[in-house]
Structures are given as structure tokens and as C-alpha cells.
Chain A
Amino acid sequence: MSKILIIAEHTNDTANASTAKCIQCATEIPNAEIDVAVFSDNGESVANEIAKMDGVTKVIRIEHDANSNPMAALIAPQVISISKGYTHIFGPSTTFGKDLMPRVAALMDVNQISDVMEILDSHKFKQPIYAGNAIVTVEAPTTVPVVATVRIASYRAVGSSGSAQIESAELDIDLPSHSRFIGIQAATSDRPDLQTAAKVVSGGRALGSEENFEIIYDLADSFGAGVGASRAAVDAGYVPNEMQVGQTGKIIAPDLYIAIGISGAIQHLTGIKDAGTIVAINKDAEAPIFEVADIGLVGDLFDVVPELKAALG
């Protein structure tokens, strides 16, 4: 039997969608018992929410003032303190999980698998490498725990008709004082979250300025879509970094993705491979984005986008 520990990602109030997707991944391991750890300063509502998620046996609450804003150097030793007996420790392949899980693995003296996209058996997995241009099947040693991050775009979220027990774990370790959280600058918006939105509209370098990017927001708002961008648009300062889609940004899997004024570099395409339908709007008929697009339209975005908005609105 496999005993799996999942490290929950949450906002202290609610679980991040990545948590329910990690659980889905874990349920695909045969014969698995799944526990979820919630590290927070007050995790009651998050623990209650996760206890309802299908497939969870037990939720473990670990409370500490230092957990109000997760820092890998502080969470990792806490994970170790409750890790005994688990055959697998999973976290999401978000910036939270990517920061934390390798630190956990190293403290356990094991290697880590990044971006699990398919479970073949308890110790055999598929993962993308080279910006998704190759998929490798890997086998982890059975003599040590498997530590992995889960590529959340590959999994749907589990349902919430469960009723797991909730337990509190006491911490009797000293946490390091060498790393301090100062603050976070997060854009607040009413738009659907890029990582979970069913529809996403993205703009690229072709937008030319922060002001011009408004037409992308307008179009997205006209049908309730999230908004993303290429690296070039972020580098040029048209939009903030958290909107970057791609190999080094967010990997997303919306039902509909509309790429506007984006050429389709491999690093960008990595981020949208799992989208249901890809639409490309580009004035260059030779742009590589058209090779992956399900629906392509050659035209000047400054004509097409307002027209499309009018047609939708």
C-alpha cells in the first residue's frame, strides 16, 4: 500500500485549486491512502474545506505564527517532522511547491521528480522535459520515499463529497530565523484566475504598450475570460509578471485559449499544450502559433480585437 502526504497550497482562508488537483493525481496511485498537511497560522477553514475533498483520509493541521506566509526554509523542516511512514510526498508544481518540495527532498536525502503528468504505477511516472518537447518515463527507487511535484494542468480537481478526519500535529522543532517574509505585491482583480479560468485571452509583444493592452482586458471581460501574456509583453512592462504563460511562467489548460499578437515560441507553447481549443490572431500568416492553433485568423489585432468584442458583446 502507498501512504501519500500532500502539502496543501492555500491562502489561509481557502485551498488553492492546485491542492484538489494534487489529490486527484495521488488517487491515481493504486491502493493509496492520502493525507493532506495544512501548514498555516490558523488553518481551520482550509482544513474543513480539504476534509471534504474526495479521496482524503486525514487532514493534518500544523499551526505556527511563522506559517502565515509560507517560506520554504521554514515549512520544509516541519514537513520532515511529520513525514515518517509516508511512501510518497507530493506538492503542486506551482511556485509554492517548486520552492518547497526540493528542499524537503534534500533534507530526506532523496531526489525529486518534477511535474508528474501521469502515474503509471506507484513508482513509475511520466514528466515533460525540454519545454515539453519530450516526455520521459522515470522509475523512482522503492527503497526511499518518492518526493514529487504534480503538474497541475494535467489533472482535474477532485470533488468535495468526502468527510476526512482532521487532526492537529504539535511542532516540537525550532524554526530557523535566517529567512524573513517582508511582503507581497499581488494584483487584485475580479477576473477569473489565470490558472483555473475556463477561457483565457493572452496578448503579446504586438500590443506595443500598457495602454494598448487594455483592448485585451476589454475583450476578456466581454465573455468572462482570464488574461495572460507572453514573456515579451511582461518584459516590456505591459503587464505584471504573474500573467506570463509558458515554460517559465504559468502552465495552463483552459477550454479556450486565444493568443493575440503572440508568435508562438516553443517556450510559450509549453504553457498552453493542454488547452482545449487554441485560437490565434496574428498578422503574419507564417507565425508558428498557427501550427498549433485549432482556429487561426490572419489580421491586424487592432482591427480584429474590437470587432470580435463587438460581435461577442
Chain B
Amino acid sequence: MEKILVGLKRVVDYNVRVRVRPDNSGVETDGVKMSINPFDEIALEEALRIKERGQAQEIIVVSIGAPEAQQQLRTGLAMGADRAILVETAEAVSPLMTAKLFLALIQREKPGLVILGKQGIDHDNNQTGQMLSALWDRPQATFASKLEINGETARVTREVDAGLEVNEIDLPAVVTADLRLNEPRYVKLPDIMKAKNKPLDVITRDELVTAATADIQPVTYEAPTEREKGVMVEDVAGLVTALKDKGLL
């Protein structure tokens, strides 16, 4: 295939312990470390490997969001992507709108494959890939832990609740990456320098999609209820007694 499109979402880094703002208006993102969504790094790594096997020519990374998402796109270029597109928008974008924006890009770029993460670790939506493939009227293979491209089709191993499921899908299609698909490479300093010269196009949301969607509105945010402080026991006998006291044995 010629092109693979990869989504890179800018999210709060997975090591950050996210806190709700005191006024319940959202979560604290000021001064918090932002990174590429971990599943998207895996998605990009997979695309790069497909290209390195000679099964694709060009990897395009896409981010939808604030101008700052250029940082994540630059990291993607340093990892090895050929080109980047930022769809700039000031407001929050719902998964349905994200899927519509990706679809508009698909119509421009005509990729043979789109690889997204299985979920954004910010809102834990787990929706965009499924929505995109529905709108595109193409196959979806979610939660992929293995991906094999065989000409016009792909064989995908998917991590499902019961175990590992294997699907065969016609291309083009949407695949969403799970944790065990691969281990993303580290970016090397010379690659960061080289990435500065790779193309990064900025387009506005309105250039792609003008109609609005009926969105689900956040009303208020709260911290989860904390568990009460527990007890420490000295030894196994103490543990067994504590369990018996709670009626668990």
C-alpha cells in the first residue's frame, strides 16, 4: 500500500496522577506533562514496521487539537513518520467529530490503512476507530495485538475478554492498537534534528468539516470516593484472622 495514516493524540502523560480542579470545572492540566497517547505510540511503531518491511511507502501522523499538539507530531516525525498534519481547533472535539475529521483526511490522502490507539488515556473513550470505520464503511479490527499485511487483506489478532481472536479483513481498514502489539522505539537525538525539516501541515477544522454534531456535554467533575485507610497485619495468621473477621473466609 502507499500510505498509512496514524492518529497521535496529545494527552496528559500516563505517569501523572490526574486531579479534579477545586471548582469541579474539569481536571487540572496547567503545568502538567503532556505526551503522545501511549496506544498511539504503539500504533505509529506498527506503521513504521510495516513500512520497514516494504509494505507501505509513506507514514502520515495526524493530530487534532491545540497548536501545542505540534510537539507530539514532531516526536512522531522523529520516530520515523514522513509527514504530519495538525487539524487545529480550540474547542474540545468529540469522538464522532474526530472520526469525521479523519474521514475527511482519508478522502484527501486515500490511505491503505489507518492505525489508531484503542483508547485515549484521557477520557478512556475507546470509540474513535470504531466510529471512523463505520463512517468510512470499511472493516475495523480493534484491540490488535498482532497485525499481518497480506496484499489486499490483513490478518489481525485481537485481545478480547475471552482470549485472542483472529479476524481477516479487506483493506483499506481501521486497526486500533492494544498494548502488546509492539514495543515502541526510543527517539534518538539525530532523528529529532532531522524531524525539524519534515513537513508539518496545519489546517483548520473548518477546512475539513463544517457541520456540528449533537454533543454530549460535561456538567461537573468530581474526585472518586477514596477508600478508607486499611490495617496492616504482621503475619499470615493475622491475615487469616482479619479475613475471618470480615466474614470472607
A and B from one complex: yes
Inter-chain contact B122/A241, CB cutoff 8 Å: no
- Our pick among B160, B167, B222 for the contact of A96 (Cβ within 8 Å) is B160
B residues apposed to A, CB below 8 Å: 12, 14, 17-20, 27, 94-96, 99, 118-119, 121-128, 130-135, 137-143, 145, 155, 158-170, 173, 178-180, 213-224, 227-228, 230-240, 242-243, 246, 248-249
List of 6 A-B pairs having minimum Cβ-Cβ separation, nearest first: A186-B163, A102-B130, A106-B131, A106-B134, A102-B127, A294-B230
B121: A residues at CB distance < 8 A: 130-131, 247
Given A94-B161, A109-B96, A139-B216: A114 in contact with B126 (beta carbons within 8 A): yes
User: Any chain B CB within 8 A of the CB of A42?
Assistant: no
- Our pick among A109, A112, A183 for the contact of B165 (Cβ within 8 Å) is A183
B195 to chain A, nearest CB (A): 29
B74 to chain A, nearest CB (A): 25
Inter-chain contact B180/A241, CB cutoff 8 Å: yes
Given A135-B223, A141-B214: A293 in contact with B230 (beta carbons within 8 A): yes
A308 to chain B, nearest CB (A): 5
Q: Which residue of A lies closest to B246 (CB)?
A: A277
Known: A136-B221, A294-B246. 12 other contacts (CB 8 A): A99-B143, A99-B160, A107-B134, A133-B17, A135-B224, A179-B169, A199-B248, A278-B227, A294-B227, A295-B233, A299-B235, A311-B240
Inter-chain contact B179/A96, CB cutoff 8 Å: no
A residues apposed to B, CB below 8 Å: 71-73, 76, 94-96, 98-107, 109-115, 124, 128-141, 143-144, 176, 178-187, 195, 199, 223, 231, 234-235, 240-242, 247-248, 250, 255-256, 266-267, 273, 277-279, 290, 292-299, 304, 307-308, 311-312
Inter-chain contact A103/B140, CB cutoff 8 Å: yes
Q: Which residue of B lies closest to A71 (CB)?
A: B167
A296: B residues at CB distance < 8 A: 230-233
Inter-chain contact B223/A111, CB cutoff 8 Å: no
B200 to chain A, nearest CB (A): 28
- Our pick among A101, A182, A279, A304 for the contact of B168 (Cβ within 8 Å) is A182
B162: A residues at CB distance < 8 A: 184, 186, 242
Inter-chain contact A311/B134, CB cutoff 8 Å: no
A75 to chain B, nearest CB (A): 12
Give the interface SS of chain A, mostly helix, strand, loop or mixed. mixed
- Our pick among B20, B125, B214 for the contact of A144 (Cβ within 8 Å) is B214
With the chains together, A124 CA to B178 CA distance in Å?
Answer: 30
Inter-chain contact A183/B166, CB cutoff 8 Å: yes
- Our pick among B20, B168, B242 for the contact of A134 (Cβ within 8 Å) is B20
Inter-chain contact A178/B169, CB cutoff 8 Å: yes
| Interface-centre pick from A124, A241, A290, A304 (highest chain B CB count, 10 A) | A241
With the chains together, A100 CA to B101 CA distance in Å?
Answer: 21
- Our pick among A71, A104, A129, A311 for the contact of B122 (Cβ within 8 Å) is A129
Inter-chain contact B220/A114, CB cutoff 8 Å: no
B242: A residues at CB distance < 8 A: 295
| Interface-centre pick from B121, B155, B216, B243 (highest chain A CB count, 10 A) | B216
Given A135-B224, A241-B180: A308 in contact with B138 (beta carbons within 8 A): no
With the chains together, A184 CA to B20 CA distance in Å?
Answer: 41
A36 to chain B, nearest CB (A): 19
Given A137-B218, A186-B163: A111 in contact with B126 (beta carbons within 8 A): no
Given A130-B27, A184-B162, A311-B237: A298 in contact with B169 (beta carbons within 8 A): no
A110: B residues at CB distance < 8 A: 96, 213-214
Inter-chain contact B124/A128, CB cutoff 8 Å: yes
Inter-chain contact A106/B124, CB cutoff 8 Å: no
Inter-chain contact A128/B166, CB cutoff 8 Å: no
